[in-house]
Structure 1
């Protein structure tokens, strides 16, 4: 398939239902709806939710065009900006053009490859310290909610490593508040008409209170860091030391708050989601788990994983890649064309919304054999890849791919072996894992596991 100019065809569409179109189908079961329309109508589908037209694109060529070749024509859609900006402010996820480019330049050195080794020891140490508490659950046959445990673990890592922040009991409030706001933003994104936050509804009052809680915590973090005058190579220091190239002005505390909140939430919440799904998959595929354990034992023994061990842990990386294929944390994202565009035989009007879903793309039968099967060997570096490069986009692609992708992969490659050296998880009998399609894809009611000590 190529992007070329040919006679225009009508974009296929599923039947709509009155003024709201396909809204109820998408709201109720978004994964099933997008899977069904893709299967029935092809790799480009138009559907309507209320007064807004959406174009769902599910082919690597389309993804390349939107996110790489013609990316300057595609900005964050207005609905996303309207609903996410009150939460995240003017951060990397909510800005475009020069504002985004400036923020990216400031943050990029912190995620450079030569910094990864400096972070690795902190990650291993924090992981070992946190998972010690699971020994009590193992000794007493208690049940753990893996979702909650991974959220706390990754926050214990990200907060001090990237922001020099001491993790306290108050971080539980932070996690709960982010969870409330993420669900609210996701709800508003799929609701065509929403009331602005200044309208004093009960939901808006709760949202405003949650935003105040986040602001209090993040501004306190900034103030404490400024007072200590640390000179560490981390994101907090990079933001405080940054200067505008034209004016020499530094970032205000509000601007720093927006970057911290964006990257802190992205850093811990998405990684926690990925780890939760991975250990769930291992609990359902004992052969994969045993092969993974064998690699950990042969490569590490009882020694904690280090940065130097990562390249040798090939199967660990394969398992992570396959888990991210089946459960990409950012399961969908949207763009809006500034000018009309053309994709092959089809025209995309300006100011509509284009959806791309890694979750659906990663299960496309044209590019993945047995796409619903958990098979880490797909990513064996010794074998020739059988999938198109842009059929696999767990971190996005192009200039706006996830800035922390290498940091996130390193976190998982250090966390997973350490957990496997100490514990084994068993899904409790008859527990049904449900999917929650918020901004990130995570287990709706958690994943409840019994933990067994293997040390």
Structure 2
């Protein structure tokens, strides 16, 4: 359920707490070096914390769930997105991801039919076809008691799953181009995001030329798929066909080619990179907690063993779902959310000027002892009583919050359940290296090192 009205902001101090650092600039330069540690430190300094400045923009971190709710549900006249920058705009086009205000609301309403839960069983079938191929590849490794780079395997698997769910058929050559373009584009955006004085995007630097060339190839590949899909519709409907059926709510007309292209790219990234990132952390945590893995496997063993997994089976996997929710609490792929103040705005008693950037860190919120009992502990049981555990609704943000909550969260949860259920029914995984994992917070919260797991048959 989304909320459309922000609660009144509580009174606060005249000046918010501030992170130590240089005069005027504050400590925000530390964001480039270790943003997770920096935002974690800032989360303990108060409900609203001034981080510093980059150029003309002031940055504040919002740590109180009530104030997070106020920001995430604020009217567009007061607070908007920060995704209108030239990198994301070039990469994703005019999509539901980058739009704002009334045009965004209109596009989201048009998208809703494509993401109805009634479509999930058909998408499940497409995804299951791809995961069976991964099982076949892992079987000889398991028989030899070998090991596998689970990071690479899951990235490849989720890519093939979303391609099949999107297009109804496998398109490996285009999938590779999608991978390269999005990987470089998101890294390029991250480098520019915290640069003290970034060069204009229009300058033909090697980095900008590589980015523009990658986007051009990406757009050409997807356009070719769309054209072929129109000429030769596959037997199994995919998300692309569902997007093609979306209509302008006022005129009843279908989308233009540019609108369709933008939404295909956005859906692809949401269904692939974010879900693959979550899957890697899930298997990392399961490898570190064999007692929890045993409970997941026990639940899976109650399913009929004489047939493949079915879509309706997913609804019975309550502990498995709790385990996924807990994994994305500890390691939310979207580790940082941002909003831009569009006109003078009061938050927690503090007046913030236009173009102030407000940062919300799901990673920090999810690990704050003010909101969670033993927040560093991996405990799926905390979600047994509801999808937000014991915490304030706005202290759990793996899919965002408010009107812009992720429209594809149902697809993502289906993917994750399918992956963990299918693989744990067939294989036993052991963590090769139990040292703490290093974080790589780029556009998504990735694991910096490969996740190597030993594989054996069950």
Aligned to 2:136: 132
Aligned to 1:73: 78
Determine helix, strand or coil for the equivalent of 1:299. Answer: coil
Asked if the contact 2:9–2:67 (Cα under 8 Å) also holds between the matched residues in 1, the reply is no
Aligned to 1:316: 320
Asked if the contact 2:86–2:201 (Cα under 8 Å) also holds between the matched residues in 1, the reply is no
CA distance in 2, matches of 1:147, 1:309: 26
- Structure 1's unaligned 5+ residue stretches are none
Aligned to 1:27: 32
Q: Once structures 1 and 2 are overlaid, which stretch shifts more, 228-237 or 22-31?
A: 228-237
Asked if the contact 1:302–1:421 (Cα under 8 Å) also holds between the matched residues in 2, the reply is no
| Candidates 187, 190, 195, aligned match of 2:194 | 190
| Candidates 434, 441, 444, aligned match of 2:445 | 441
- Structure 2's unaligned 5+ residue stretches are 1-6
Asked if the contact 2:325–2:387 (Cα under 8 Å) also holds between the matched residues in 1, the reply is no
User: How many residues align structurally?
Assistant: 451
Asked if the contact 2:168–2:237 (Cα under 8 Å) also holds between the matched residues in 1, the reply is no
Asked if the contact 1:333–1:356 (Cα under 8 Å) also holds between the matched residues in 2, the reply is yes
Asked if the contact 2:341–2:357 (Cα under 8 Å) also holds between the matched residues in 1, the reply is yes
CA distance in 1, matches of 2:303, 2:385: 18
Q: CA deviation at 1:381?
A: 2.9
CA distance in 1, matches of 2:77, 2:311: 37
Aligned to 1:205: 209
CA distance in 2, matches of 1:4, 1:165: 50
| Candidates 2, 16, 22, aligned match of 1:17 | 22
Determine helix, strand or coil for the equivalent of 2:85. Answer: helix
Asked if the contact 1:107–1:235 (Cα under 8 Å) also holds between the matched residues in 2, the reply is no
Q: Structure 2 vs 1, CA of residues 84 and 382 (structure 1 numbering), >3 Å: closer, same or farther? A: closer
Determine helix, strand or coil for the equivalent of 2:339. Answer: strand
Asked if the contact 1:19–1:50 (Cα under 8 Å) also holds between the matched residues in 2, the reply is no
Aligned to 1:293: 297
Query: Quick check: 1:106 aligned with 2:107?
Result: no
Aligned to 2:67: 62
Asked if the contact 1:434–1:445 (Cα under 8 Å) also holds between the matched residues in 2, the reply is yes
Q: Structure 2 vs 1, CA of residues 188 and 280 (structure 1 numbering), >3 Å: closer, same or farther? A: same
Q: Once structures 1 and 2 are overlaid, which stretch shifts more, 115-124 or 224-233?
A: 224-233
CA distance in 2, matches of 1:185, 1:118: 35
Query: Quick check: 1:164 aligned with 2:147?
Result: no
Asked if the contact 2:48–2:348 (Cα under 8 Å) also holds between the matched residues in 1, the reply is no
Q: Trace 1:336-347 onto structure 2 (pairs within 5 A).
A: 336-347=340-351
Q: Structure 2 vs 1, CA of residues 437 and 126 (structure 1 numbering), >3 Å: closer, same or farther? A: same
CA distance in 1, matches of 2:272, 2:408: 11
| Candidates 374, 378, 382, aligned match of 2:382 | 378
Q: CA deviation at 1:345?
A: 2.3
Determine helix, strand or coil for the equivalent of 2:106. Answer: helix
CA distance in 2, matches of 1:246, 1:383: 35
**TM superposition score normalised by structure 2:** 0.91
Q: Trace 1:171-250 onto structure 2 (pairs within 5 A).
A: 171-229=175-233, 234-246=238-250, 249-250=253-254
After superposition, the CA RMSD in angstroms is 2.4
Q: CA deviation at 1:426?
A: 2.2
CA distance in 2, matches of 1:7, 1:441: 32
CA distance in 2, matches of 1:434, 1:279: 15
Asked if the contact 1:427–1:450 (Cα under 8 Å) also holds between the matched residues in 2, the reply is yes
Aligned to 1:276: 280
Asked if the contact 2:10–2:348 (Cα under 8 Å) also holds between the matched residues in 1, the reply is yes
Asked if the contact 1:106–1:238 (Cα under 8 Å) also holds between the matched residues in 2, the reply is no
Aligned to 1:92: 96
Q: CA deviation at 1:121?
A: 2.6
Output one character per residue of 1:41-98: Cα deviation in whole Å (capped at 9) or x when no partner: 11210111422211101121012111125455221126x5333111111111111123
Q: Once structures 1 and 2 are overlaid, which stretch shifts more, 58-67 or 224-233?
A: 224-233
Output one character per residue of 1:104-143: Cα deviation in whole Å (capped at 9) or x when no partner: 1222111112222222233223222232111233244544
Asked if the contact 1:3–1:343 (Cα under 8 Å) also holds between the matched residues in 2, the reply is no
**TM superposition score normalised by structure 1:** 0.92
CA distance in 2, matches of 1:202, 1:331: 29
Query: Quick check: 1:402 aligned with 2:406?
Result: yes
CA distance in 1, matches of 2:239, 2:361: 29
Query: Quick check: 1:155 aligned with 2:159?
Result: yes
Output one character per residue of 1:197-233: Cα deviation in whole Å (capped at 9) or x when no partner: 4322222222222222312321121121121146965
| Candidates 34, 38, 44, aligned match of 2:48 | 44
Q: CA deviation at 1:421?
A: 0.9
